[in-house]
Structure 1
Amino acid sequence: MTDASGRPETEHEGESEHDKEGELQRALALIEDATIVADASSLILAASENPGGTELVTVRVLETIASRLGGRTKRTMVAPKRPNLSIRFGPDATPEHPAVLLLGHSDVVPAGEGWVADPFSPRVADGWLTGRGAADMKGGIAAALQAIAAVNHVRPDLPIELLVTVDEEDLATGIQAHIASADAAEPGRYLACIVAEPTDMAVVIACRGAANLEIEVTGRAAHAGRPEDGASAITTAARIATWIAGDHERMRAGASGLLGSATWNVGRIEGGHGTSIVPDRCSLLVDRRLMPGETGQEALAQLEAGIAHAIGLLGCTAEASLLMEMPGFETDPTHPLVATAVEALQAEGEAGPIEAWTAACEGGFIARQHGCPTIILGPGDITGQAHQPDERVRISHLATAARAYTRMLVHLHDARATLRTHTIIA
């Protein structure tokens, strides 16, 4: 039996809408709220602070959960004790039958000070799960795994993958290793990408990228009693920082659209030896938020031009380098992926607003590499809960996210022909 294009029709493609709705309801019935909380708690217990630790223990917990749910796991070592993990359900993806990809990361930011209890001992109270990583993003990963397993139980013919990378919170070496791998070279591998980062149950369709840059200023030391005999690296660094602040204001003045504009921020400045010495060195760490389609190399070139303008004839030299790049993305708000996400959330009693994100995430790498539509959607609040003491997530949001993912996975595969006729903006 074939469809209108002459392609063989699968068993499920010939089903009526009534049958499809029955499959969906059977999958939703398999979502277990308590199991999501238990799995998320196990992941929080597997501390994976970055920098300062490794993600290996978290990956082992994920492998255990995946095995229980029937998934196939594949480790890819990025660095010692730092493996990316791919968890696949259903058949392997092909260009004719691509997978829906859910994307997450296994590392968390350092716990820091100010917690009322051990940050890596998960606590459940008053409808909240508390612990480092509860929102960003071990809760989202646990919800995604429940959804994938539930869909696989009723639709074992659907290829679905959860990719969990290392080092997202620092240098993004995990996603970069994935992009360089043979898997990433397969054309048409992914039908769509859903990043399970915390969005407070909004559908995020646009996300700026990020570039981390370092500037090394070299001056000439001298006695502070005769500073004109030297060349102050700190004074020069201050002039560079002033140029950066001015360029930030210039870009913000031209902000428009969902994402506004690119931004600059000097996050750290360090140099000198003491009050009686003209400083011969100073370094700056700089954050540059990238617009979709903009690259880290372009930001570096812009910074280098600004440095040349700022330092003039002060007698110092300065070199800038690109430490890390995370591309941005933007998906057309009329794309079927976006509509599917909004409908899934609304079916679960959420408003499902469409928003842009001020943070960065690894979805831009997938969108750029594979050309597939990408959104961010997950439990927890990136600004109000993540990266803070007593990080927490609503348990009801964990369950809602799992059910929304379930709805999306079923409907996206049924609408794959329509999805392929649309493209992302950048």
Structure 2
Amino acid sequence: MPDIDRDINRDIDLSTEITELLADLVRIESTNPSLSSGGVGEASIASWVAAWCETQGLAVDPVDSGDGRPSLVVRSRPAQSRAESAAAQSDAAQSGPRPATGTLLLCGHLDTVDLGAMTDPLVPRVDGDRLYGRGSYDMKAGLAAALIACREAARLGLDVDVVVAAVADEEHGSLGIQRVLDHLGAGFVADAAVVTEPTEMAIGVAHKGFVWTEIDVMGVAAHGSRPQLGVDAIVRTGTLLVEIEALGRRLAARAHPLLGPGTVHAGVIEGGQGPSTIPERCRLTIERRTLPGESPTDVEREVGQLLATCAAADPDFRATARTVMHRPPLETAGAHPLVAALSGACQDIRADTPDVSGLSYWADSAFIAARGIPTVLFGPGGDGAHADVEWVSLRDTADCARVLVQLARHLGTALRRNEA
């Protein structure tokens, strides 16, 4: 086996290689078609990533995420169940490579938001430590780091199977990670998972969830010259908006130590038929950002109370509500061994201690954690997610790959110690 201490910290120019890989990924448009009618989807980038993995000697398994939008499962070792791995370990010769003692799951998404008003969004541009282009920060840099880490784990012969889930549709419905987890099946066991979303090289242990609710406020249509015959649904929705604002103030009174308070806001409003008609309907879509411990049922109860309050104050107020999408929050204990192992890996590579923080955005990490896998987020720094100027730090991206390899090494050492 290679000298791992020397190889992980060697001055191989991972920086050059990872810059080239990231630039290749940025050149491939992968805009999410669920967000934009012109979105091309993930088929082209998934095909390119699969081909790259094959040239690196990595096992690749495509997973259909629906509508021709593939995800990929990439492995540093051939797939084995824990029972098969244990049997192989007992039979292995002392001089041969160790069978896998554990699994580290890395996750990054293939899709991006639309190109917006970016200048040359698919032409990667390097300026000092920064690489510019659509998806560079969110999150093709994190994906590149995960792929390089998987390749390095295979090259070094680490006895931890590093599995990369390169998934479709994170920017909209997260179909990719759900299909990948279903594909891996109930028998898939990972000792830890890292989602390589951009975290500025901090360890993200928590993020909020969200619930989207559509509220239909019903009125009675009438001609604008005879308003006494109608009930204005838009005016009644205004009453509801006041109650939503009051709910936001109540939520602000109870804060999570890493995430702050839950929030609520009105995201979309639509209604009315014309200037001379009393509107008979107004639809309001609200988003409630939830804290760990809060559920969609809790939010449905809150919304029901809002409607009841409005109805009690106005006998003409009538409304119905339905949940149209919900995603769970994430919380991994800051004292979890995964956090300590990742922090130690950062200190090995960067000689500093990373912050442990909560993150403002939602990510696929919550779905992974829901399968009982200890999960954190960790990725490079930069700026401009979903914006017209987007860039990522190349130094952080290369360091992220190195840290992930070191984490795999720490994980293998810890598992062997536990088995001893």
TM-score (norm 2): 0.87
Q: Which runs of 5+ in 2 are unaligned?
A: 84-100
Is 1:104 the counterpart of 2:105 in the alignment? no
Aligned residues: 394
User: Is the 8 Å Cα contact of residues 63 and 183 (structure 2) preserved in structure 1?
Assistant: no
The residue that corresponds to 2:301 in the other structure is 301
Moved more, 84-93 or 192-201: 84-93
The residue that corresponds to 2:225 in the other structure is 225
5 Å matches for 1:183-202? Answer: 183-186=184-187, 189-202=189-202
Give the RMSD, CA atoms, in angstroms: 2.2
Q: Distance in 1 between matches of 2:13 and 2:205?
A: 26
Q: 1:123 to 1:90 in 2, by over 3 A?
A: same
The residue that corresponds to 2:154 in the other structure is 152
CA shift digits 1:339-397 (9 cap, x unpaired): 1211222231444111111111111111112x12111100124xx42121120001111
Task: Give 1:164 deviation, angstroms.
Answer: 1.9
The residue that corresponds to 1:377 in the other structure is 378
Task: Give 1:315 deviation, angstroms.
Answer: 3.2
Structure 2 counterpart SS, 1:47: coil
The residue that corresponds to 1:332 in the other structure is 333
Q: Distance in 1 between matches of 2:140 and 2:418?
A: 29
Q: Distance in 2 between matches of 1:364 and 1:418?
A: 29
Task: Give 1:333 deviation, angstroms.
Answer: 1.3
The residue that corresponds to 1:136 in the other structure is 138
Structure 2 counterpart SS, 1:185: coil
Q: Which runs of 5+ in 1 are unaligned?
A: 1-11, 13-18, 421-426
User: Is the 8 Å Cα contact of residues 160 and 411 (structure 2) preserved in structure 1?
Assistant: no
The residue that corresponds to 1:274 in the other structure is 274
111, 123, 126: which one aligns with 2:125: 123
The residue that corresponds to 1:386 in the other structure is 385
The residue that corresponds to 1:344 in the other structure is 345
Q: 1:46 to 1:232 in 2, by over 3 A?
A: same
Matched to 1:327, the amino acid is P
The residue that corresponds to 1:16 in the other structure is none
Q: Distance in 1 between matches of 2:395 and 2:148?
A: 14
Q: 1:81 to 1:274 in 2, by over 3 A?
A: same
Task: Give 1:316 deviation, angstroms.
Answer: 4.8
The residue that corresponds to 2:404 in the other structure is 405
Task: Give 1:156 deviation, angstroms.
Answer: 5.1
Q: Distance in 1 between matches of 2:47 and 2:211?
A: 31
- Runs of 4+ in structure 1 displaced over 6 angstroms? 417-420
Percentage identity across paired residues of the two chains: 31
Task: Give 1:133 deviation, angstroms.
Answer: 0.5
The residue that corresponds to 1:4 in the other structure is none
User: Is the 8 Å Cα contact of residues 59 and 78 (structure 2) preserved in structure 1?
Assistant: no
5 Å matches for 1:280-299? Answer: 280-299=280-299
Task: Give 1:320 deviation, angstroms.
Answer: 2.2
Moved more, 290-299 or 406-415: 290-299
Matched to 2:103, the amino acid is A
Q: Distance in 2 between matches of 1:145 and 1:257?
A: 33
Q: 1:276 to 1:110 in 2, by over 3 A?
A: same
Q: Distance in 1 between matches of 2:304 and 2:45?
A: 40
CA shift digits 1:267-319 (9 cap, x unpaired): 12121122211112222222211222433343233223322322444535323
Task: Give 1:182 deviation, angstroms.
Answer: 4.6
User: Is the 8 Å Cα contact of residues 93 and 159 (structure 1) preserved in structure 2?
Assistant: no
Structure 1 counterpart SS, 2:160: coil
CA shift digits 1:383-421 (9 cap, x unpaired): x4212112000111111111111111111122137899x
Is 1:261 the counterpart of 2:261 in the alignment? yes
5 Å matches for 1:12-27? Answer: 22-27=3-8
User: Is the 8 Å Cα contact of residues 337 and 419 (structure 1) preserved in structure 2?
Assistant: no
Matched to 2:384, the amino acid is Q
CA shift digits 1:38-70 (9 cap, x unpaired): 111121121122212211112112112211222
User: Is the 8 Å Cα contact of residues 70 and 167 (structure 2) preserved in structure 1?
Assistant: yes
